[in-house]
Amino acid sequence: MSTRTSHDQALTPAADADVVVTDDAGPLDTTTLSDFVGRHVGPRQDDVASMLQTLGYDSLEALVDAAVPPAIRSTEPLSIEASPSEHAVIAELRQLASRNQVLTSMIGLGYYGTQTPPVVKRNILENPAWYTAYTPYQPEISQGRLEALLNYQTMVSDLTGLAIANASLLDEGTAAAEAMAVMRRTSKVAQDAVLVVDKDLLPQTLDVVTTRATPLGIDVVAADLEQVGDADALRSLAGDRDVFGVLVQYPGADGQIRDWQALAEAAHEVGALVTAAADLLALTLLAPPGEWGADVAVGTTQRFGVPMGYGGPHAGYLSVRRGLERTLPGRLVGVSKDDDGNTAYRLALQTREQHIRREKATSNITTAQVLLAVMAGMYAVWHGPDGLRRIALETHAKARALAEALTSGGLELGVDRYFDTLTVKTPGKAAEVLAAALDTGINLWQVDEDTVLLSADEVTTLADLRAVADAFGVPAPESIATVEAPEWGRLTRTPEQTYLTHPVFNTYKSETAMLRYIRSLSDKDFALDRGMIPLGSCTMKLNSTTEMEPVTWPEFSALHPFAPLDQTEGSRELVRQLSEWLEEITGYDKVSMQPNAGSQGEFAGLLAIRKYHLANGDDQRTICLIPSSAHGTNAASAVMAGLKVVVVKSTSEGEVDLEDLRAKVDKHRAEVAALMVTYPSTHGVYEDTITELCEMVHEAGGQVYLDGANLNAMMGIAKPGEFGADVSHLNLHKTFTIPHGGGGPGVGPIGVRSHLAPYLPNHPLITDAGPDTGVGAISAAPYGSASILPISWAYIRLVGGAGLTRSSQVAVLNANYIARRLHEHYPVLYTGADDLVAHECILDLRGLTKETGVTVDDVAKRLIDYGFHAPTMSFPVAGTLMVEPTESEDKAELDRFIEAMVAIRAEMDEAAEDGVEGSVLRGAPHTAVSLAGDWGHRYDRMTAAYPQGVDPTRKYWPPVRRIDGVYGDRNLVTTCPPPQTGQG
């Protein structure tokens, strides 16, 4: 045993460099484990030793040796150097940040300057109570963020004039692609019908939509739709083919506001639906799309207080008219009631995503942009309808002042009805104008040699307008004349077309009131700042403060994604270094950072595989083999990539059934495009057949897609790119410490072996972001959610290769410790070699449910009374709980959880005897107010609220009792309900 016992002894270097520290957990290599590892990893070294003892191993290495098949083990340690301290990492990041130049960007094209209300920035964006929360699948402990998302949905619905808005998508481009799928699924016209889009769609939106359309065999016809006045004209534009959908920009990418009503009527006449990609700020002044005939609206909410962030993250929005709610992708918050009849919020229309129906899926989105949607919703709460209208009118007034200066100076505009964006004709001089503007610190956009595009926004100043006028060589405007109302004829929003009338948007006007509102919401929620969130497959580990700090530095947060490359050197260098590290960790040859969620990475990776086969003349390779235990997104992504899903069975031990795989590979030998497999499996086990599986598929000419969502079990232990896989996505919002934000943001980069590198994503406007031969844009921005990449960069740099390895080792230790201590109370469903699990374990409650009547739901809700977030419920196996503690939870927290689960197990026995109805488990969770009234339960109040082990001084009180989901779905309400007059 070690002779040192101090708390920090664990993973910190010895004070005296000559002291060699060894203990049961193996030698502490003080030269490779950085100081920060001891902050990131929960268990102290003596805890590690005692946990290893419980498991019967004498070192972490021995445990991992026993759990992981030798055939896949890495032979070399990860070659990534750790930084000496948190201060040093911040200094390095400052250095990188200083290589970015933050100028004033008036580029527009979907990204605008905005002021994040400071009360929102500090109390939401920079507040762990918001950013460390998980997706609100457990609604009783998520009422705060569910209310914030309901505000967001109400805002989008009101502004677009469409009844139902979801609680965010990934960006405007992908939202438009999702709208295409909604229109295709709803329209009854022929299968070979086309999508018609206006020529003035944002270029990146057109690219993302085309990337999505191509594998589905959908033709996208881009044309000037302004002239389409009737059905015949539309049909003829489509080459006399059927049209299932029409997509227009409102206002157009060129700035022009077009009247799309006649087009919408024509579209409906031919059986098509209409989607408007609309600017939300403009909509405060414009006739809402729902009023002129759009069926769907999409866009970004970035300019509602969310920094441009070099492209993201921002919340994309999507709203639909009533009747289309069942085709809506993404998460939808709905109003329901709890056991006591009080209003309560929950995800509506199935707890999980209704669109992910394996091979029948229409979308693969799960992780969205919740944190950013909350911010955008709060921007609307803060400013209210009048404030938003004022910001919009001021923005319009700035554009108008500049337009008048330009036309007075003899220049011609390409627009005559605009909101904030001007197309300016400068024959032969566009480059010169751009250079002159740049000299004064302003970025404009060059459309071609003769045309400049520019946008005003919330933060544009008179000085900016004057500098731009100078750059064009025209007399500068003296002032910005106030505009009372825009002059857009029937496209002007009327006073009757009201929005944000709900009290929530008209109440919190002082900062004191706003601060308290935000605080009251986060107080309702359980996030990592309160306790462990042991959600299997989610990796809810520490998101350290140092890692989070750079996110709001202007050098990272204020860059326009299409800014000239020499202004973004620091961010691109950060992308390059992070890619290199991820390549080292995974063994792949090349990484693309563009996909902004795991789901998007899956889609990108499968497209790369498909394109590779096509390049080899293997057009017939269209089958994707997917084990039955796979995450739902896998099959959904395969369908979106134009592949046919063939399901491979699992054995009773939970492994991929090799015989079934062999039979299916043989049967479809010539058509196998890929095997898509998760490793360690979604059952939480290191299967020792993985290399054989990869060989079998390769031998048949297929590729192996390895879902890397569980990489937290493999860092420094095994490299997928070396043990047989061709491509993986990684979830940076799991393994690499980007916080979950209540359901997003995420980052889902893909790593590929060199033969797939030519088929990584690229971008229409930033050619540096991917290969010419790539699959097209997967996300709207060239580097996806670039502004949160410093988080993962900082984590890797803080812990280095040895610290990453230690993270994975301890993640495996923690999971096995829980599995071992709980297995006599709850059977552990699957184990691998030596009865070990990987980084998570599945507790099988099915037998207990049969015996006692107590369901996984009862256990999950009762855990709330004990002060825990429930583990993952019923995934990947119905009736089970999947527990993933991660390396960041210390032994005390693991023990607290174990003891709570053991106590609940005893309560199950009691329920079996006395009847589950009326039991404390069925009555859970218990609110404070439920204790105060009449008490008709057979258990006492103390048992309800302060069961064994709950520290009364740290009690978490859920704000609502168990929520009735069915009621909410039968009575679908997805906007803010009228205020309640007290609960009870």
Interaction site with ligand PLP (CB under 6 A): 366-367, 537, 597-599, 631, 633, 678, 682, 707, 709, 731, 746, 748
Please identify, using beta-carbon distances, which residue of 749 and 832 lies nearer to ligand PLP.
749
Please identify, using beta-carbon distances, which residue of 251 and 746 lies nearer to ligand PLP.
746
Counting beta carbons within 10 angstroms of the beta carbon of residue 236, is it exposed (0 to 12), middle (13 to 18) or buried (19 or more)? exposed
Q: Least CB distance from residue 734 to ligand PLP, whole Å?
A: 7
Please identify, using beta-carbon distances, which residue of 254 and 884 lies nearer to ligand PLP.
884
Q: Least CB distance from residue 366 to ligand PLP, whole Å?
A: 4
Please identify, using beta-carbon distances, which residue of 181 and 286 lies nearer to ligand PLP.
181
User: Of 291, 314, 317, 289, which Cα lies nearest the Cα of 154?
Assistant: 317
Q: Least CB distance from residue 626 to ligand PLP, whole Å?
A: 11
Task: Check: CB of residue 672 under 8 Å from CB of residue 621.
Answer: yes
- Rg (C-alpha) for the chain, rounded Å, is 28
Q: Least CB distance from residue 48 to ligand PLP, whole Å?
A: 27
| Number of other residues whose CB lies within 10 A of the CB of residue 647 | 17
Please identify, using beta-carbon distances, which residue of 43 and 749 lies nearer to ligand PLP.
749
Q: Least CB distance from residue 355 to ligand PLP, whole Å?
A: 13
Residues 641 and 644: their CA atoms lie apart, in Å, by 9
Task: Check: CB of residue 646 under 8 Å from CB of residue 626.
Answer: yes
Q: Least CB distance from residue 413 to ligand PLP, whole Å?
A: 42
The token duo for 578 is: 């992070």
Alpha helices for 616-739 (secondary structure H)? 632-640, 658-667, 690-699, 720-723
User: Of 732, 758, 729, 777, which Cα lies nearest the Cα of 601?
Assistant: 729
Q: Least CB distance from residue 240 to ligand PLP, whole Å?
A: 39
Task: Check: CB of residue 68 under 8 Å from CB of residue 710.
Answer: no
Task: Check: CB of residue 303 under 8 Å from CB of residue 282.
Answer: no
Please identify, using beta-carbon distances, which residue of 721 and 746 lies nearer to ligand PLP.
746
Residues 958 and 766: their CA atoms lie apart, in Å, by 47
Three-point CA angle 171, 581, 208, nearest 5°: 20
Cβ-closest position to ligand PLP: 598
Q: Least CB distance from residue 134 to ligand PLP, whole Å?
A: 10
Please identify, using beta-carbon distances, which residue of 74 and 678 lies nearer to ligand PLP.
678
Q: Least CB distance from residue 651 to ligand PLP, whole Å?
A: 19
Task: Give yes or no for a cis peptide into 876 (omega within 30° of 0).
Answer: yes
Please identify, using beta-carbon distances, which residue of 331 and 572 lies nearer to ligand PLP.
331
Q: Least CB distance from residue 320 to ligand PLP, whole Å?
A: 22
Please identify, using beta-carbon distances, which residue of 407 and 874 lies nearer to ligand PLP.
874
Residues 372 and 167: their CA atoms lie apart, in Å, by 10
Please spell the DSSP secondary structure of 61-77, one letter per residue: HHHHHHHS-GGGB-SS-
3-state secondary structure of 221: strand
CA torsion angle for 651, 653, 656, 661 (degrees, to 10)?
-30
Please identify, using beta-carbon distances, which residue of 681 and 919 lies nearer to ligand PLP.
681
Please identify, using beta-carbon distances, which residue of 193 and 713 lies nearer to ligand PLP.
713
- Beta strand 672-678 with 623-627: parallel, antiparallel or unpaired? parallel
Q: Least CB distance from residue 731 to ligand PLP, whole Å?
A: 5
CA distances from 561 to 204, 567, 600, 852 (A): 11, 10, 19, 57
Q: Least CB distance from residue 707 to ligand PLP, whole Å?
A: 5
Task: Check: CB of residue 737 under 8 Å from CB of residue 792.
Answer: yes
Please identify, using beta-carbon distances, which residue of 877 and 904 lies nearer to ligand PLP.
877
